């Protein structure tokens, strides 16, 4: 006979869970111990936000449901910012949290945890009794995978040491959700719009990745003569395709912007078409007809006016359109000319700007391009939030969609380190690269120790301008003092060395050669403290007026 927490830990691998992260405490230690004994890989972090973020990164990389284990009260609230990011990014994961005892609502640790989690958009389930504990866990795991949503399973404190009856069994296998096919009339209408266009553009987002839409979208694009673009979270989806424009919107290349301006139809699959993807509406004109495909009805037309909404799974809808167009064997070359293919293949990103390398520091654009050439092709890139992020998004290539993690849905600074560690644990065959600003780094350095303890092949690239750069570039031009967001020079390489990681300070592009020994044997994390020129401003900084800050 097992206790509730022991039974939950023992059931995890039987329910398909292979990975867990968390902070063991007096209320939850048994589940961690039982899960490890049952064969679940466990990573202990130094902060609860790190545990949730690490599972977020692991689940994004693998597409599988991971589990984070948190204790009651502050254990849960410490992880809420990372949980909110996971909610907004639709990450399938389960957070097992110890909850207020049913017998008493009084105590220092007691809050209405369910109300808090629901307010953030997470799903909430409960261990209802010792008899239903394993069933309740199974239901939470199923919901997380089916709804693509973090589910918080509350375990009342007075139940954790209750004895589970020996006859308790796992529930029947939960069915895999079927793809939502679009209405036939919507497919016919969308196909008619395609036939009337001469230069169609396909934009794919995170929803297209999760539906497995890459192959049918490529086939559709070849048939209708479309170029392929992605929202930032979907970077890498069409890597290697001759007509891949890369990211559309704020982080687009000049040639991508040029082609976007020539499109006469936009087909959006699983992308929200928010201000980042459309460049605040300037890069995809409001005059261009847009057909938006999304599995969620609430997402259709949520961010911009569209010409036609199609509710359906991205892969299923792309396949349905192919079959509809096959009826009359309709096809065209459209954008797909040898000239455009040659321009895309031969484009040199260093020609997009005049380098500012010099006494003020390294030009972050030149550095990122040089870093991209230095790193192995097989890599996973995670980008934290901040002014620097556009350079990493623009110039760091990835081999596929699983190689790019973009925890920006909540636009919180400092979550990237844990997510990057999770990606590194999920894909140990690739180095994990984290791009982060000095501000974001100072919010989360405790998790570097986690990467050291687990020997994660993690390259932390700190774009160090000794400031919260976004605030400097937004507030200074309108006459406000920015001394509060400037920092003295700090030695992040020494900080890395102090916890057992390797650390290198870069003040010139030539210093990249110091990275070669680590690349040859990436046994544990490496931190690059890159002193960048603080005067280089990214074009994605939204204006220099008070109105832009609203």
pLDDT digits (tens, 9 = 90+) for 42-71: 999 999 999 999 999 999 999 999 999 999
Q: 135 and 102, same structural domain? A: yes
In 3D, which of 371, 365, 421 has the Cα closest to residue 397? Answer: 371
Q: 370 and 339, same structural domain? A: no
Q: Which of 136, 164, 192 is the last residue of a domain?
A: 164
Contacts of 136 (CB under 8 A, 6+ apart): 125, 126, 127, 128, 153
Mean pLDDT, the chain, rounded, equals 92
| pLDDT tens, residue by residue, 462-488 | 999 999 999 999 899 999 999 999 999
Q: Residue 364's pLDDT is what? A: 96
Is residue 117 domain-resident? yes
Contacts of 132 (CB under 8 A, 6+ apart): none
Is residue 172 domain-resident? no
Q: CA 62: distance to chain centroid?
A: 12
Is residue 413 domain-resident? yes
Is residue 169 domain-resident? no
| pLDDT tens, residue by residue, 260-277 | 999 999 999 999 888 888
Upper half-sphere CA count for residue 442 (Cβ side, 13 Å)? 16
Is residue 256 domain-resident? yes
Q: 359 and 376, same structural domain? A: yes
Domain boundaries, position 53? 2-164
Q: Residue 546's pLDDT is what? A: 35
One-character DSSP codes across 422-436: HHHHH-TTSEEEEEE
Q: 139 and 31, same structural domain? A: yes
Q: Residue 320's pLDDT is what? A: 97
What mean pLDDT comes out for the span 434-461?
A: 96
284 pLDDT band, cuts 50/70/90, is confident
Residue showing tokens 């507030």: 475
What mean pLDDT comes out for the span 158-168?
A: 84
Is residue 467 domain-resident? yes
Q: CA 525 to CA 450: how far, in whole Å?
A: 10
The separation between the first and the last C-alpha atoms of the chain, rounded to the nearest angstrom, is 58
Give whole-number Cα distances, 391 to 28, 193, 271, 275, 436, in Å.
42, 36, 22, 18, 11
Q: 197 and 117, same structural domain? A: no
Q: 140 and 90, same structural domain? A: yes
Angle at 231 between CA 226 and CA 237, to 5 degrees: 70
Residue showing tokens 């049952």: 38
Q: 323 and 251, same structural domain? A: yes
What mean pLDDT comes out for the span 232-248?
A: 95
What mean pLDDT comes out for the span 379-404?
A: 96
Q: 267 and 143, same structural domain? A: no
167 pLDDT band, cuts 50/70/90, is low
Q: CA 11 to CA 543: how far, in whole Å?
A: 52
Please state the domain count of the chain.
Answer: 3
What mean pLDDT comes out for the span 506-519?
A: 96
Is residue 380 domain-resident? yes
Tell me the two tokens of residue 520.
């040859």
Is residue 171 domain-resident? no
Mapped onto helix, strand or coil, the DSSP state of residue 186 is helix
What mean pLDDT comes out for the span 224-253?
A: 95
543 pLDDT band, cuts 50/70/90, is very low
The CATH number of residue 75's host domain is: 3.40.50.970
Residue 519's H or E segment, with its range, is helix 516-520
Angle at 230 between CA 227 and CA 235, to 5 degrees: 125
Residue 542 predicted with pLDDT over 60: no
Q: 254 and 294, same structural domain? A: yes
Residue 511 predicted with pLDDT over 60: yes
- Which is more confidently placed, 93 or 108? 93
Q: Residue 545's pLDDT is what? A: 33
Q: Residue 356's pLDDT is what? A: 85
What mean pLDDT comes out for the span 390-406?
A: 96
What pairs with residue 383 in β-bridges? 435
Q: CA 177 to CA 90: how far, in whole Å?
A: 16
DSSP H helical ranges for 120-250: 133-147, 184-196, 206-210, 214-224
Residue 530's H or E segment, with its range, is strand 526-531
Residue 325 predicted with pLDDT over 90: yes
Q: Residue 179's pLDDT is what? A: 77
């Amino acid at each position: 006979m097992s206790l509730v927490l022991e039974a939950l830990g023992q059931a995890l691998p039987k329910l398909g869970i292979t990975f867990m992260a968390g902070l063991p405490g007096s209320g939850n230690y048994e589940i961690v111990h039982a899960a490890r004994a049952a064969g679940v890989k466990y990573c202990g972090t130094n902060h609860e936000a790190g545990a949730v973020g690490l599972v977020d990164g692991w689940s994004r990389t693998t597409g599988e449901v991971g589990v984070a284990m948190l204790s009651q009260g502050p254990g849960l609230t410490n992880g809420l910012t990372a949980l909110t990011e996971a909610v907004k990014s639709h990450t399938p994961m389960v957070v097992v949290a110890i909850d207020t005892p049913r017998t008493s609502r009084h105590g220092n640790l007691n809050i209405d945890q369910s109300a808090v989690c629901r307010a953030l958009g997470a799903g909430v389930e409960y261990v209802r009794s010792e008899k239903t504990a394993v069933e309740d866990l199974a239901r939470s795991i199923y919901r997380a995978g089916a709804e693509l949503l973090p589910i918080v399973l509350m375990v009342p404190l007075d139940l954790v040491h209750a004895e589970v009856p020996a006859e308790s069994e796992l529930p029947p296998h939960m069915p895999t959700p079927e793809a939502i096919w679009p209405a036939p009339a919507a497919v016919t209408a969308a196909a008619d719009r395609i036939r009337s266009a001469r230069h169609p553009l396909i934009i794919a987002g995170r929803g297209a990745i999760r539906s497995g839409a890459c192959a049918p979208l490529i086939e559709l694009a070849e048939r209708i003569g479309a170029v392929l673009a992605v929202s930032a979270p979907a970077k890498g989806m069409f890597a290697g395709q001759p007509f891949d424009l890369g990211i559309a919107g704020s982080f687009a290349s000049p040639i991508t912007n040029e082609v976007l301006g020539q499109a006469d139809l936009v087909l959006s699959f699983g992308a929200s078409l928010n201000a980042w993807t459309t460049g605040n509406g300037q890069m995809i004109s409001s005059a261009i007809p847009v057909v938006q495909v999304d599995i969620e009805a609430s997402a259709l037309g949520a961010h911009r006016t569209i010409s036609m909404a199609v509710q359906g799974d991205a892969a299923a809808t792309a396949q349905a359109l192919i079959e509809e167009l096959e009826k009359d064997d309709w096809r065209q070359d459209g954008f797909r000319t040898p000239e455009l293919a040659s321009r895309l293949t031969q484009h040199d990103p260093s020609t997009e700007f005049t380098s500012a390398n010099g006494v003020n520091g390294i030009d972050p654009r030149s550095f990122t391009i040089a870093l991209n050439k230095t790193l192995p092709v097989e890599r996973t890139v995670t980008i934290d939030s901040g002014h620097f992020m556009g350079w990493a998004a623009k110039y760091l290539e990835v081999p596929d969609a699983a190689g790019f993690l973009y925890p920006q849905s909540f636009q919180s600074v400092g979550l990237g380190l844990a997510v990057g560690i999770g990606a590194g644990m999920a894909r140990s065959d690739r180095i994990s690269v984290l791009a982060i600003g000095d501000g974001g780094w100072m919010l989360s350095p405790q998790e570097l120790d986690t990467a050291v303890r687990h020997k994660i092949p993690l390259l932390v690239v700190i774009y160090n301008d000794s400031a919260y750069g976004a605030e400097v570039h937004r507030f200074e031009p309108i006459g406000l003092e920015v001394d509060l967001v400037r920092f003295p020079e700090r030695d992040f390489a020494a900080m890395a060395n102090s916890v057992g990681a390797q650390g290198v300070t870069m003040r010139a592009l030539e210093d990249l050669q110091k990275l070669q020994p680590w690349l040859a044997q990436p046994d544990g994390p490496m931190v690059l403290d890159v002193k960048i020129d603080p005067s280089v401003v990214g074009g994605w900084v939204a204006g220099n007026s008070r109105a832009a800050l609203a």
